[in-house]
Each structure stands twice: as structure tokens, then as C-alpha cells.
Structure 1
Amino acid sequence: MLAMEGMVAVVTGGASGIGAAIVERLRDEGATLAVLDRDVSGVPEGFVADVGDDDSVRNAITAIAERHGRIDILVNNAGIGAQGSVEANDDEEWHRVWDVNVVGIARATRAALPYLRQSPSASIVNMASVVATVGLPQRALYGATKGAVVSLTRAMAADHLREGIRVNAVAPGTVDTPWVARLMEATGDPAATREALEERQPHHRLVRPEEVADAVAYLASPRSGSTNGIVLAVDGGLPAVKV
């Protein structure tokens, strides 16, 4: 029997990039998937929702529970990026990115909690980032939100463990996704930018989306039943290894 056979997993931002890799990985484990995203064209298990809008999130979660009868896993993957030093973004942008990356987790989680509480093996996995633990240039706003995700993960783990809900996070390094590719193209010299990003990683390559998905699958699975409140790094050892 597969580890997630009979379980229902919700993945926010699951229509592309890391989210799509997570969806495929959890499906391989036997889970029934529900994808929350703003655009779910071509995603048969998709539910339209914007984590920046509470009503759309609540409506989507309710629809998932009504269709499948349960929710066992929530992967809070949806997020947006930001570049620049602390002075590079105005207040509106600070609020916009914070609202999606941090408050978006709160919206999806509080909508799903009534159903997670009924699961015999409930798990929440939040998407953090290496920038939560390592200061990287031009990532002030993004790093602030991901640092908040780490703190929020630990607080949620403490709040909900007695309810039978585990909460953990995954912190990837730079992942080879379409979003990162667009950032490299915008520099005017994508080849040189890629080389610099690869050299920054101790294993001299970008992280593959499938590697992040494997980490999420472990934390979401009943196989990690004694794992709670951790942040699992998938970054080639960037904070800890110097080569």
C-alpha cells in the first residue's frame, strides 16, 4: 500500500514550478490531489483560488472537502518573489508580498484546519527558503517573508500538535524553475547569471524541483510521524558547507 493511499492533499500554487512537482510526487505516493492556483487551466484537479483573497481560499477549501470528503495534507507552496535591498520596494510592494507569502499561509491553513483535525494523520508543509537563514544580496523583502514563514511554522507546530496535526517546512536553495529562468533572462546575460548562481551552491548546480518535492513528500507522509516543527533544507548545504 502506498504511503498516502486514501489521503487527500491540497497544494497551493500547485499549477506550475515547484508546486507542480509536488503534485506529481504526492500523486505517486497515492494521494488524491487538489490544486489551488489563480490559473488552473489544464489542471484537472484544479480549484481557482488566490491566497491573497480569503473568500476565494475558503470557497475552494470547502469545495475540496465536499468533493473528497476529507483533507489530510496541506502544502502551503504559493508565493511570490521580490528583489532589491530594503529601500528598493515601496510600502505597497512590502504589503503585497507579505500578504501572499505569510498571510496567505494563514488563510489557507485556517480554512483547512476543521478538516485536518478530523484526519488520522494530518500534516501541513510550508514553503520557506534558504534566504530565511542566509543573508543573500538583494533579497531583503523576500528574505523577511521567508524568515516569517520559519517562525510561523514553529508556532503552528506548537499550537496544533495536540490536535494531531504536524507542521513542518522545506527551505530550498535556488531552484531551477521558470520563475528563476525569467530572472536570469532579465539580467541581460542569463548564461553568466546561471553560472554565478550555480557556483553559489556548494554542489555547483541549481536545486531540481523534484528534490524539493521529495522533501515535501517525506514531511507530509505518515512515515514522518515523529517529525514536527522542523525546517528541512534542500540547498546543497549552503548555510553549513564551504567548499
Structure 2
Amino acid sequence: MKCLLALPLQNRYTNFNKKKGKVALITGGRSGIGQAIAARLQNKGASVITVQRGEDSNFDSIKADFSDPNVAEQLVTEVIKRKGQLDILINNAGMMTEAGIEAMTLEDWQKISM
């Protein structure tokens, strides 16, 4: 009997080799983990669009700020307008705060969770 935990991560959750012709939207794709995921998917044939607050990106990108609750719907509409489809969504955007968890305000939590 094989131990499921012993199987390689990419075989258990996603097969990065079957992405040709797929369209991926990656939030927080300008740097770090999001950029690495975008590069890997693009390398495997996916058409990648990243979403970030800043302008510069190594990929086709959309500038957006998730503090606006309507942004998600607008992003999907824009991706389908540009590419005709959306197959993969990677929710990677994040935010840091200087305050410790016990000092965070409701407004801080809302910014992080949007």
C-alpha cells in the first residue's frame, strides 16, 4: 500500500504538463510565489495573466486593487474579453500589516480578506 503523503506534490494536486492552451489568472503574480507559479504555467504552455497593484510585470497583466469588492467580477470579464476563456485561477494576492494579530482593527481584517 502506497502512502499518499509520499507521492510527489505535483502528481497529487496538479499536473503542470497539461496546461497547453489553458488560460490562467494569477493574483499577486508580480513577484514571489505568484511570479514563480506564473512562470511555471507559462513554461508549460498556458497563457498567463497576472493581477497586481503595480504596473510592471513579466507577464500579460491587469492592474487591480482587491480592496474594491467588484474587482473579482471585473477581472473575470476582462480575462474572457482578452483570451476568450478562463481555465485556471490562482488566488495568491496577500497583504501584510505592521500590527500584531491582537492589535488589528476590523478595518485591517477587511483589507486582508478582500
Give the letter for the 1:89 counterpart: M
Instruction: Give deviations 1:159-191, integer Å, cap 9, x for gaps.
Output: xxxxxxxxxxxxxxxxxxxxxxxxxxxxxxxxx
**Residue matched to 1:8:** 23
TM-score, normalising length from structure 2? 0.73
Compute the displacement of 1:89 (Å).
Answer: 1.7
Pairs within 5 Å for 1:1-243: 2-82=17-97, 83-86=99-102, 88-99=103-114
Q: Which has the higher helix share?
A: 1
- The CA distance in 1 between the partners of 2:86 and 2:104, in whole Å, is 37
Compute the displacement of 1:44 (Å).
Answer: 4.2
CA contact (8 A) 2:21 2:45 kept: yes
Query: Any stretches of 5+ residues in structure 2 without a counterpart?
Result: 1-16
Matched residue pairs, number? 97
- The CA distance in 1 between the partners of 2:108 and 2:42, in whole Å, is 35
Instruction: Give deviations 1:31-75, integer Å, cap 9, x for gaps.
Output: 110111111324440011122213333223212111111111000
Give aligned-pair identity as a percent.
35
TM-score, normalising length from structure 1? 0.37
Q: Which one scores higher on RCO, CA 8 angstroms, separation ≥ 6?
A: 2
- The CA distance in 2 between the partners of 1:75 and 1:63, in whole Å, is 16
The two structures, once aligned, show a CA RMSD in angstroms of 1.8
- The CA distance in 2 between the partners of 1:85 and 1:59, in whole Å, is 31
Give the letter for the 1:51 counterpart: F
- Report the more deviating stretch, 90-99 or 12-21: 90-99
Larger of the two Rg values belongs to structure = 1
Compute the displacement of 1:18 (Å).
Answer: 1.1
Query: Any stretches of 5+ residues in structure 1 without a counterpart?
Result: 100-243
- Structure 1 residues 34 and 94, CA gap change in structure 2 (3 angstroms): same
